[in-house]
Structure 1
């Protein structure tokens, strides 16, 4: 077994930089578009939306393809491909002179991305089985930390060094992280044995994995988790304004509400991952689904900003245990040699939630408002729990591995 602790440390840094780079542009994207010549307010909003979503659309399509190649040629190769590719694309974003350039580069970035699923696949296949939950939780905390701090860092750097310089800096940091992975991350992978296996099409791989009842349930949890998290997100600032009023520090509180669940998520992920190693990831996943579903209810009932902050912090604790449990269970139920494909399909469902969640939330807001969206998210997570209970927690499937 390779030194999994070294791998975990290096990949944590890579996950942080990859997710920070993805989210760092959000605070100043409309302002950067204005610098590129888009001046009409409606056009700025339109371009901001499609540029942000473009990355996830191409990522949804490309991830399973890279996953198949990773199972055949190695996860580290895909890790480096993604890291160096994103570093290059991010740097080019600083040279954009038109909104079309930025959209095209975001589409390319989504296509070459895959650092996160490649990291997860490499860690899961090169970590002792009794440490996988802890490793997945710690690894996720790096990505969550990048997601939380990325917008904050981006906003600060925009004031200090300007928009274009942020892209150059982010590209450089991703390049350094990829170099660290190249020289320090070790992988136990039998390339000749993997290549000797018959080639299987993407569709056939999906069908093979879908026949294992636990995996579709896990993919559905991932989608629902991200959908529920993202559907109220575009409306959160307006909800904060309704609760807090147009008073001083409104922008600060809007940002805090958007990130407070990420802080509790980051803290809880390694802890719940370790509990998963001891008690079983199936049980931790079931508890986290119920807890997250219940945590959406007080958000629909709050009457002031402090109640909303407390409810979202509480929700983040349970959401912090979901992805580590899902990653550990995917490793448990996926046949040997198909791990990367399985994680990549899961990553695609995550990207799908990132795209469909905000769109659906925007549509539903016109009918039921954001409080109604919280109720819908709660109901969907509860329904998802019953599916997980049927496929993972029942006596028929709970302790059964594929082929047994």
Structure 2
């Protein structure tokens, strides 16, 4: 591990970066793509955008525990490659859709068979020395957000000149290319790898029982992560619609890209720094104050009057978001037996996906039921309060639990 963990980290972060670049060619412009598919009512576009964004995460929430358990048996490197192939294949298919319902179905299937982020977290958590875990996970978050920084800009140009379908096709092909560097990662051999395939699959399901042995610590922390993802994802699929409401210029796609990029810039800079600070000091402190900051910054977006105020607040929000998931993942990883990290991070990915699933569909439903002004006001207010509520739950986590004994039971 000492010899290879840095190379693994570089290659997996590179994969995270490239896949995020490719996937954000289109996602920030989802409401505009839906309009091109024939939906012309703003409220219906908001509802479709939320539902389609949620479909991906619904699939992840159903299948992530299985993939996490299989990772413990098959090997975590194989799960990385599997997820990349799935994302690339289904993204290419999306370029051929002709109706919103087809896009909905493909996004759901993509969620069922993809999950690169969860696979990457599991791999890094298992192959990185524990004293460097927050640092490694922070860099993983940086790779993701760096992709978010560049992807919307490239996607905005592709979409502006060649349309959404070319963007989707390009994203799928670029994603498949990620398999090449990932083949050069090296996984620490375990005794579990090499058993009969059917037996591995059968044995994956009982291992989910690890959840019941975690105690209140991980249960509460999982709940905090779900709240955080719900709050964050409630507004993301609707940002293009919100930008079109406050910006009346001729460069809408570029302004949408600017809003996403503002969040990513601060995220890229601060994620590894906050991860290292948590390793050296206290992950609880980072998680608590970042949740507080995210709550108040989200509430502040209710008051924006122009695009530049929104960009500024999204920039500040990105800095606070940079410390939330890496800190939470590091807290869970450092208190989990090594042999069960695939299972536990699979469960974590499922919880994460549930928040990601519920957030977009609820945000879209609120906006579609009310008028646009009141709908966005309500979504920003609710999500800001949820961030603050999550900080309260973190304040209850006063010390790490003793759960390393889980491994001895198996």
Structure-1-length-normalised TM-score: 0.84
**Deviation of the 1:78 alpha carbon:** 0.9
In structure 1, the gaps of 5 or more residues are none
Distance in 1, matches of 2:314 and 2:35, equals 33
| Shift in alpha-carbon separation, 1:209–1:124, aligned structure 2, 3 A | farther
CA displacement at 1:372 relative to structure 2? 4.0
How many residues align? The count is 396
Paired position in structure 2 for 1:41: 40
Answer with 140-149 or 97-106: which moved more: 97-106
Secondary structure at the aligned position of 1:41 is classed as coil
Q: Distance in 1 between matches of 2:256 and 2:102?
A: 30
Aligned residue runs from structure 1 range 202-281, under 5 A = 202=205, 205-206=208-209, 208-209=211-212, 211-237=214-240, 239-240=242-243, 244=246, 246-247=248-249, 249=251, 252-281=254-283
Q: After alignment, is 64-73 or 217-226 more displaced? A: 217-226
Q: Which residue of structure 2 lines up, in the alignment, with residue 136 of structure 1?
A: 137
Gapped regions of structure 2 (runs ≥ 5): none
- Paired with 1:341 and 1:4, the residues of 2 have a C-alpha distance of 21
1:3-402 to 2 correspondence within 5 Å?
3-26=4-27, 38-39=37-38, 41-42=40-41, 45=45, 50-96=51-97, 101-160=102-161, 163-182=164-183, 184-192=184-192, 202=205, 205-206=208-209, 208-209=211-212, 211-237=214-240, 239-240=242-243, 244=246, 246-247=248-249, 249=251, 252-365=254-367, 366=370, 369-391=375-397, 394=398, 397-398=399-400, 400-402=402-404
Name the CA distance, whole Å, in 1 between partners of 2:305 and 2:31: 31
Question: Structure 1 residues 22, 237: closer, same or farther in 2, change over 3 A?
Answer: closer
Distance, in Å, in 2 between the alignment partners of 1:19 and 1:388 is 29
Tell whether the 8 Å contact from 1:117 to 1:340 is kept in structure 2 after alignment: no
Structure number with the bigger relative contact order (C-alpha 8 A, sep ≥ 6) is: 2
**Alignment TM-score, normalising by the size of structure 2:** 0.83
For 2:239 and 2:320, how far apart are their aligned partners in 1?
Answer: 20
Inter-CA distance 78–204: structure 2 relative to 1 (3 Å threshold): closer
Kept in 2: contact 1:67–1:342 (CA 8 A): yes
Inter-CA distance 175–321: structure 2 relative to 1 (3 Å threshold): same
